[in-house]
Amino acid sequence: MNAKRFLRPAIWFIMFVLVAVMLNNFLSNGDSPEHVDTARAIHEVEDGNVSSALIIGGDVQRIELTLNDGEEIWAYYVEGQDLELESELRQQARDGTLAEGYDVDIPQSNPWMAVLGTVLPLLLLVALIIFFISRMQGAGGRMMQFGKNKAKLASKDAPKTTFADVAGANEAIEELHEIKEFLQEPAKFQAVGAKIPKGVLLYGPPGTGKTLLARAVAGEAGVPFYSISGSDFVEMFVGVGASRVRDLFKEAKENAPAIVFVDEIDAVGRHRGAGMGGGHDEREQTLNQLLVEMDGFDVKTNVILIAATNRPDILDPALLRPGRFDRQITVAAPDLDGRRKILEVHARGKPLAPDVDLMTVARRTPGFSGADLANVLNEAALLSARNDAKVITPKFMDEAIDRVIAGPQKSSRLMKDEEKRITAYHEGGHALVAAALHHTDPVHKVTILPRGGALGYTMVLPDEDKYSTTRNEMLDQLAYMMGGRAAEELVFHDPTTGAANDIDKATTLARRMVTQYGMTERLGAIKFGSDSSEPFLGKEMGHQRDYSEEVAGQVDEEVRKLIETAHQEAFDILVENRDILDSLVVALLERETLNKEEVAELFLEVRKLGRRPAWTGSATRKPSELGPVDVPVKISSNGSEADHSEETATVGADQPSLGGSGSADETSGS
């Protein structure tokens, strides 16, 4: 590499010198005297038309004459044959007829310069020809390499990633541990007739550690690890991707046992024939070749394909069938204990203050992925360095969480006192309604400091992870979302645009309750609308309405009813607790931010909303007629109640939240 860097500028310098010499010769030849025969030269001398003369010696001498009119000519002069020419010149020089005199000195020309002037142009021409030929050969070589794979082979000298560097994904690690054992001891499995999965698909939300898990498998097994992105296979020329797939698996088989990791496999493994314009020839040929290569594996090949994607729903079914990706591992967002372990991994090498409790940070970050948690610690370290602090304190950690959730604080945004007062009542309305309901999560923070795109926000987070949501909890969420709008109407009688995002989230949740979760008595437990969207179609184009106009009107009525009921509940709570709302606003205007303990102290005397009537649903008899039901509850190994329902209304990522499972309002600046 260093030789190439040295030779390339040297070659260009030599070519530049050659071009300069050629140009100099060309220009000098353009100004040279006119070549005439010896007879004319003698005639000009005899007529006295020569003002000066110069003889250049050599085997074949040359005489240069400058005429009286300034013209310059030259002719060959052979000594001993044209003595009269030399005699005449000498005579005129003695008589003073030559104006400039006659130079009797005979300078000898440099033979090397003559040779150089003749040979250099030829050398330059040959060098240019060789240069262009080599460039064409290089281009041809690159064309021949066009179908080669672009996979990167992990260096054995590079720091290895092991399972100890991965936290919060215990189930995935357990599944992949078997892959490691097979690569290290394949005979152990072959002895009992076991076949290791040919392909392992890691799927889950972005940032949960899919690529990290694949590197950990390679680091643990100590085998060659080829990594490539799905987009590296696809080119504008049909057939190139298939060629790269063949070359990749050929190289992996030659170095078996090995791991081939394809990140973002959905770029090449999408459903074939999908889209309004049909399929994509290059992508489909690449996918076909990938399917063939995976079928070509045998038990003794010892090459395992690991792929990662966050869109398993758009992958081709042939790719997911047993025999190809027989093992599909979900890499989900970590739970509370997983978040604590991830924080411990990323806290290595960072000076934490003694009062920083990573478990507290884990409780404040429900729904965060591993990448989010790493970002929290990195932001806290940056804030510490920015403030010239030697350690990361809880203050910096708290600010880092807020930055990741809602964005950086807008310290340059100045609000008028009246606008700040409106924001305080808006956020106070959210917090007070959340405190007065029976199925909402605790309020962790209320602030009127602008952050991100909001003028203020209320953070409501659960004390523990939740994986399903009841109907009453969703109704409480609707009332909580409408709390800001209800406070504006109650106090100012003039609502603002700050509730735009609240209304959007509430409408979305209410429509899902009606059309997906079956939580209205009028329409019952029926799903309305089907999602048969194709990968290349827009979301709206993929949704089909499989119900009549009459049912559509009923759906709209039920959605409106849910929103209006929630709005009224929020309004009633604020009217009942108006004195507490005013006290909360005064505290917000003074301190701008209230934490969980400060909010809880203000809400000690909150008068809660009455319990809602029992849910009857679509049952033919009321619950009171059915009598008590003893629901068996399984107790998990850690003493907590396990889920006893096979089908529950899961909200997950669709739940209106700030930072995952916890809900928060960040809409005051909408």
Active-site positions? Answer: 427
Is 210 marked as binding a ligand? yes
Cβ proximity of 348 and 384 under 8 Å: no
Q: Is 346 annotated as contributing to ligand binding?
A: no
Cα 278 to Cα 580: distance, rounded to the nearest angstrom: 62
What DSSP string describes 224-256?
-EEEEEGGGT--SSTTHHHHHHHHHHHHHHHT-
Separation of alpha carbons 537 and 293, rounded Å? 30
Largest Cα–Cα distance of the chain, in whole Å? 150
Strands (E), 508-620: 530-531, 543-544, 593-595
Residue 29 in tokens: 């030849």
Instruction: Give the integer Cα–Cα distance in Å for 657 and 335.
Output: 16
**Contact (CB, 8 A) for 271 and 315:** yes
- Does the annotation place 193 within a ligand binding site? no
- Is 168 among the annotated ligand-binding positions? no
Question: What's the start-to-end Cα distance of the chain, in Å?
Answer: 56
Has 209 been labeled as part of a binding site? yes
- Centre a 10 Å sphere on the Cβ of residue 514 and count the other Cβ atoms it contains: 23
Q: How far apart are CA 578 and CA 487, in angstroms?
A: 9
**Is 280 labelled as part of a ligand binding site?**
no
438 is known to lie in a ligand binding site: no
Could you tell me where the beta strands, DSSP code E, fall in 264-391? Answer: 303-309, 327-330
Q: Count of CB atoms within 10 A of residue 516's CB?
A: 15
Q: What is the dihedral of CA 280, 285, 288, 289, to 10 degrees?
A: -150
β strands within 254-395, DSSP E: 258-263, 303-309, 327-330
**Cα–Cα distance for residue pair 108/128, rounded to 1 Å:** 34
426 is in an annotated binding site: yes
Contact between 443 and 459 (Cβ < 8 Å):
yes
Q: Say how many C-beta atoms besides its own lie within 10 A of residue 449's C-beta.
A: 20
204 a known binding residue? yes
Is 121 annotated to bind a ligand? Reply is: no
In what helix (H) or strand (E) does residue 597 lie, and over which residues does it extend? helix 596-602
Tracing tokens 């889920």 back to the chain, one arrives at 643
Beta-carbon neighbour count of residue 633 at 10 Å?
9
Residue 73 per-residue DSSP state: E
The C-alpha atoms of residue 656 and residue 664 are separated, in whole angstroms, by 8
| Residue 593 in marked binding region | no
| Beta bridge pairs of residue 409 | 451
What is the Cα gyration radius of the chain?
43
Annotated binding site for ATP: 204-211
Annotated binding site for Zn(2+): 426, 430, 502
Annotated binding site: 204-211, 426, 430, 502
